Amino acid sequence: MNRDELRARAKKRLAAQRRRERDPRFVRVLGRFVSAGLLTTNREIVLHRDPVPIKDALYAGKVEPRIMELLPAVVLKRPALLAQPLKLPSDLEEIVRGIRHGRESLPDLRGVSSRDYLQWITRVGRKGQAPSVLKSFRFQQEDVALLRALKDQLGAKSETAVLRLALRALDAQQS
């Protein structure tokens, strides 16, 4: 391939990229994420306040990879930015479920590594906080009664707060 062919190929790709950047779906999603304070850009865009469809966000993520990186965090911690956030494609749903359950290894999201999208989890929503991990325990009635009594006795907000205190006390005792 000679220099002229490479130049023609690059011009063609640049023209295609510019067309995708003018697409209304991309403009809406970028405007929504910028208005929410999740992204910044150096181009003129119209800010949008309305929720955007997941399909449009996935399309925009192909054009701007930062949107694809943000998507799992937005689904988990800022679902109001998206229209119908419960109707997720299977790959995104698997990732969100894995994050909620605290799985160690997660799959890539359409070319974006888990390392890249996991970094946003603590930056979106409540800063510095990861979403709570869902755990299910089976207690006997006596355990539940003790947990409720300890909650009242300690003045804790919830039974979960009592369990957190107990775990930290046990950990401190072990150290």
Among the listed residues 48, 69, 55, 57, the one whose alpha carbon sits nearest the alpha carbon of residue 26: 57
Kindly report whether the global pTM for this prediction surpasses the value 0.85.
no
**Helical residues (DSSP H) of 107-140, grouped into ranges:** 114-118
Domain assignment present for 135: no
User: 50 and 87 share a domain?
Assistant: yes
What digits encode the pLDDT tens for the residues 100-157?
A: 888 888 999 999 998 999 898 888 877 777 777 777 888 899 999 999 999 999 998 9
| C-beta pairs of 61-64 under 8 Å, 24+ apart in sequence | 61/110, 61/112, 62/20, 62/110, 63/17, 63/20, 63/21, 63/23, 63/26, 64/26, 64/30
Do both 153 and 105 map to the same domain?
Answer: no
Residue 129 lies in a domain: no
- Does 126 fall in a domain? no
| One domain, residues 113 and 145 | no
Same domain, 96 and 17: yes
Report the alpha-carbon distance of residue 64 to residue 57 in Å, rounded.
Answer: 10
- Same domain, yes or no: 101 and 47: yes
Question: pLDDT tens, 30-87?
Answer: 999 999 999 988 888 889 899 999 999 999 999 999 999 999 999 999 999 999 877 8
Indicate if 111 and 33 belong to the same structural domain: yes
75 inside domain = yes
Q: Is 120 helix (H, G, I), strand (E, B) or coil?
A: coil
* Number of structural domains found in the chain: 2
Residue 123 lies in a domain: no
Domain of residue 104, residue span? 3-118
